């Protein structure tokens, strides 16, 4: 399912001799995406695709990618995750840069982002299923005391009394801070487990139309019409955020993009509000960006049991240095920014590009266009 997005309308355009030149600079071999690429080329016979493999798996090759200048000089569309040409003047024909990432915060200081008006699109919407599974998995690992049970298994010890302290999820409340595609799939799964869901967004969503998801949606997932949350909170000010955090949350899922306004959005005061609202302890799950949480304040909140624990797929910085105290913070589970990974990632990302190729051909609004002023 794909809903109409809010990007600019783009007239039908073609490159030299009626062809559209697509340059892909991606961190996996072309053969990984052969099936979907062939489908796209069959649908768009005038599309000429050039593929450059950016090997990000080999640390020695990072930042050493060399893309022939003649490829990006005649490109009409660029598909990439991290690589960009040095500036907009060297890509005179480019009318869309399709990032195969959920956000664009990693390029906000690049001249193309700051000094050009080239439309930038993301693949927001493809990460919901796998990240929602990670969020629920980590929360269950915590609540079912699985780490302790696994240690018992390694010691070949049988201690059935451990399970008596487990509280199932029915009737518990999850607060989703940032109700985009990822948050909506978390909501869908949490609701299926019997949890109450409340949502928080920067802007108000007072009407049914305003609550709809207008981005890319993996079929059969998410909350397309925004009907799952029992309550909806909003605002860019601290009092509004605190009102949301006061709702006795058992699980807080952080899904907001990293911007100037969201940097250290959760700090000492916010952890105090969570503790006052739920003395049993809120479990904090961050799958967004590490800098959204004030990390020293988080460590203190864990050490003083202001919150019951944390699951972090993102940290500040990344990679997290071995000497960082976060590694040894109590009740803290850390994974190396992998919650968005899935074997079908490239296929779904190309589906977003395919939809934008259709919209470009038909002169319609492009999908997932970045608002440079908002930062996402």
Token pair listed for 19: 């062809």
Rounded mean pLDDT, 142-158: 96
Is there a domain that residue 355 lies in? yes
Which of 43, 69, 159, 318 is labelled catalytic? 318
Is there a domain that residue 240 lies in? yes
Other C-beta atoms closer than 10 Å to the C-beta of 148 total 11
Is 244 in the same domain as 308?
yes
Domain span at residue 167 reads 128-334
Nearest-angstrom CA–CA distance, 162 and 35:
48
Which of 127, 173, 184, 289 is labelled catalytic? 289
| Average pLDDT over the chain, rounded to an integer | 93
Q: Reply yes or no on whether 70 is catalytic.
A: no
Which of 337, 354, 361, 372 is labelled catalytic? 337
Nearest-angstrom CA–CA distance, 142 and 310:
9
Is 238 in the same domain as 261?
yes
Token pair listed for 112: 């193309």
| pLDDT confidence of residue 165 | 87
Is 188 in the same domain as 82?
no
Is there a domain that residue 196 lies in? yes
Is there a domain that residue 3 lies in? no
Task: Tell me the pLDDT tens digit for each residue of 216-229.
Answer: 999 999 999 999 99
Token pair listed for 234: 């909003």
Nearest-angstrom CA–CA distance, 225 and 255:
18
Residue 304's Cβ-count burial label (10 Å; 0-12, 13-18, 19+) is: exposed
Is 248 in the same domain as 308?
yes
Q: Reply yes or no on whether 248 is catalytic.
A: no
Is 173 in the same domain as 320?
yes
Report the range of poorest mean pLDDT among 76-80, 138-142, 256-260, 359-363.
Answer: 256-260
Give the count of domains, the chain.
2
Is 219 in the same domain as 315?
yes
Is there a domain that residue 242 lies in? yes
Task: Tell me the pLDDT tens digit for each residue of 235-290.
Answer: 999 999 999 999 999 999 999 999 999 999 999 999 999 999 999 999 999 999 99
| pLDDT confidence of residue 222 | 98
- Is the per-residue pLDDT at 337 higher than 80? yes
Nearest-angstrom CA–CA distance, 47 and 354:
11
Is 188 in the same domain as 315?
yes
- What predicted TM-score, i.e. pTM, was given to this entire model? 0.90
Rounded mean pLDDT, 172-182: 97
Is 105 in the same domain as 137?
no
Is there a domain that residue 370 lies in? no
Q: Are 214 and 3 in contact (CB under 8 A)?
A: yes
Is 318 in the same domain as 258?
yes
Is there a domain that residue 277 lies in? yes
Q: Reply yes or no on whether 303 is catalytic.
A: no
The CATH number of whichever domain residue 187 belongs to comes to 3.40.50.720
> Angle 262-263-264 (CA atoms, 0-180°, nearest 5)?
105
Is 111 in the same domain as 139?
no
Percent of the chain with pLDDT over 90: 88
| pLDDT confidence of residue 53 | 95
Is there a domain that residue 80 lies in? yes
- The position carrying tokens 């190729």 is 357
Is 117 in the same domain as 150?
no
Report the range of poorest mean pLDDT among 6-10, 282-286, 297-301.
Answer: 6-10
Is 182 in the same domain as 211?
yes
Q: Are 122 and 103 in contact (CB under 8 A)?
A: yes
């Amino acid at each position: 399912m794909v809903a109409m997005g809010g990007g600019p309308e783009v007239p039908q355009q073609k490159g030299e001799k009626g062809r559209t030149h697509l340059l892909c600079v991606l961190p996996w071999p072309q053969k990984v995406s052969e099936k979907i690429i062939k489908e796209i080329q069959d649908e768009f016979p005038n599309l000429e695709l050039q593929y450059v493999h950016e090997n990000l798996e080999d640390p020695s090759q990072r930042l050493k990618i060399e893309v022939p200048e003649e490829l990006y000089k005649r490109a009409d569309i660029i598909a990439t995750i991290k690589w960009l040409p040095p500036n907009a003047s060297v890509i005179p024909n480019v009318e869309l840069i399709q990032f195969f990432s959920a956000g664009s915060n990693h390029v906000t200081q690049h001249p193309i982002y700051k000094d050009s008006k080239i439309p930038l699109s993301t693949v927001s919407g493809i990460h919901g299923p796998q990240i929602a599974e990670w969020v629920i998995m980590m929360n269950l690992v915590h609540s079912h005391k699985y780490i302790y049970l696994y240690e018992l298994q390694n010691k070949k010890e049988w201690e059935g009394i451990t399970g008596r302290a487990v509280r199932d999820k029915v009737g518990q409340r999850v607060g989703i801070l940032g109700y985009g595609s990822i948050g909506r799939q978390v909501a869908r799964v949490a609701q299926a487990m019997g949890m109450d869901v409340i949502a928080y967004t920067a802007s108000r969503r007072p009407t049914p139309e305003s609550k709809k998801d207008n981005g890319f949606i993996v079929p059969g997932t998410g909350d397309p019409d925004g009907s799952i949350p029992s309550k909806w909170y909003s605002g860019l000010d601290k009092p509004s955020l605190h009102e949301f955090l006061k709702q006795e949350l058992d699980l807080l899922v952080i899904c907001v993009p990293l911007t100037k306004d969201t940097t250290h959005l959760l700090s000492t005061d916010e952890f105090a509000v969570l503790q006052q609202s739920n003395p049993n302890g809120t479990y904090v799950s961050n799958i967004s960006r590490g800098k959204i949480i004030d990390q020293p304040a988080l460590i203190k909140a864990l050490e003083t049991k202001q919150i019951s624990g944390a699951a972090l797929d993102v940290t500040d910085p990344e990679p997290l240095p071995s000497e960082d105290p976060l590694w040894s913070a109590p009740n803290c589970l850390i994974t190396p920014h992998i919650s968005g990974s899935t074997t079908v990632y490239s296929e779904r990302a190309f589906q977003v590009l395919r939809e934008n190729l259709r919209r470009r051909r038909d002169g319609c609004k492009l999908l997932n266009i970045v608002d440079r002023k908002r930062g996402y």
